[in-house]
Every structure is written in C-alpha cells, then in structure tokens.
Chain A
C-alpha cells in the first residue's frame, strides 16, 4: 500500500513540479528578476532604507523593527553572504528542483487524503481535488498574504508563516467538511472554518511602500495565482489518473 501511495505521488509530483517550472519560467520568474533590479538599485542607494520613505509619506523614524525588506540587511541580519545559486542555468535548475520537491510533497498529501477518503477517483475527480488544493494552499492564504515579489514590505516572517499554515489547514478542513461531510451541521462548520483565518487576520507591516513598483507587484499576484492554479489542476489530474491506474482506492 505504502509503495503504491509513494509511486503515485512521486510520479504525479515530479510531472507537476516540472510542469510548474516551465509555467513559472514564463510567468513569475521574469517578474522576480525584474523586481530584483529595483531591489538591488534601492539597496545600492542605502541598505536599510532602500526607498525614499519621505516621498511616500512614511517617516523614517516609524521604520519599526518588524519591517523587513526582502533581501535587505534588516531581513537577514547576519551580514555574511550565504551561498546562493548563480543567476542563469544554475538558478533555474535549483528552482526546478524546489518545484519538483514541492510538487512531490503536495502530491503525497493529496494522494494520502484520497486514500483516507477511500473512494475511487479518476483524472476528472482528481482535478476537483486539485482545485480544492489550490483553494486551500494558494487562493485562501492569498487574501491575507498576497503573493509577494522580492523587495516588498512585509511583517515578521515567522508570524506570516504561522498564519499561512493556519489559513491553509483551516481552509482544507473547511472544504472537507463542506463537500465530504455527511452530517447536516458540517457544511456550516466548513464555511466558518473558511472565514475564520481572515477574521483573525494575517500579520501585516505597520507601514507600506517597498522598492517594487505597484504595477509589477500587481502583475505578480496574478501571475503567481494563475501559475499555482495550473500547477494544482495538473497535479490533481495526474494524481487522480495515476491513482486509478495503480488501483489505489
């Protein structure tokens, strides 16, 4: 059983991760590289205060300790330059590797949930599971924490990661209650769980005004969500199709 679960997830995750890398190469990656030009330009102008805050109506003394500029010294603190892949092919390969591992990780979760549910799936039903995954992991968290380019301003990292995890988990359980629950009260509890993380609210920085032009940031939100939707649709379809072929449930 465990062998078949891992076989389905590895194949589906590998394919979806490679697919996502190709999609990202044309959608999100060019925007990330473009944003880094602004980020580097502003970093060259003065490290901790990369943007002209006064011109954006922000007082320099308001620059709270919880403000982090992506890639800025304030964000990482240790000063020493850590290893990173060289721009070009090496960077693309590491992004692809990360996409594939992320794809396999999400595929394992999706396959496990399909097995736990215990009802046969095919490619089409897998697509519905994929849409649920997209909703839980991309769409719902994006309402509180929109996809961000390097150089954006954001609240403290661990707080954002915590809220993201809670929002994704709460949405996933909420969707399960709404669509798979048998008792009459379950859909209502499901809706409540969808709303709950947004009532609590995601952590946000005290001030805004990062180095990235808003046009670029807006474009990136759309690019990230569309590429994530494509990834999840592919992953769901592949997982469902392979689950059927391997007679998983």
Chain B
C-alpha cells in the first residue's frame, strides 16, 4: 500500500515535471527575447521596457 502510494506520487511528479520544464524553458526564451536579444530592431522596440526592468542595455 505504502509502496503503491509512493509509486503513484512519483508518477504524478514525473507527469508534472515535463510540462513544467517545457514552460520554464519557454518563459526564459521569452524573457531573453525582450530583455537580452541583440538585434537592433528588437532592442529599439523593447528599449524602455529593458531600462525599466533594469536588464543590461546598450
């Protein structure tokens, strides 16, 4: 019984982990795009936001 519960918990944790890690990576990608990406056009569009959030800019 205890073993079964533990297995179920582990399966649930594993099921949660994959989509969570995917979401985390996509989130980092978005923040990288608005805060860090070097192309001049992206920099200019996000300029005031970068300064306000104190991402290193210029």
List residues of chain A with CB under 8 Å of any chain B CB: 1-2, 5-6, 9, 20, 24, 27-29, 32, 68-71, 75-76, 78, 82-85, 91, 94-95, 97-99, 101-102, 104-113, 115-116, 118, 138, 141-142, 145-150, 154, 157, 160-161, 164-165, 220, 224-225, 227-228, 231, 249
Contacts and interface: CB of A to CB of B under 8 A. Distances in A.
Interface of B is mostly: helix
B24 interface: yes
Contacts of B55: 161, 164
11 contacts: A1-B19, A28-B51, A76-B40, A94-B45, A98-B45, A98-B49, A102-B35, A108-B30, A112-B20, A112-B23, A115-B20
Interface of A is mostly: helix
A161 B48 contact: no
Given A112-B20, A142-B54, A97 B45 contact: yes
Nearest to B16: A115
Interface in B25-58: 26-36, 38, 40-41, 44-58
Given A5-B19, A106-B31, A224 B53 contact: yes
A101 B37 CA distance: 13
Contacts of B47: 84, 95, 150
Interface residues of B, number: 39
Contact of B54 (A2, A5, A85, A145): A145
B3 interface: no
B27 A109 contact: yes
A27 B54 CA distance: 13
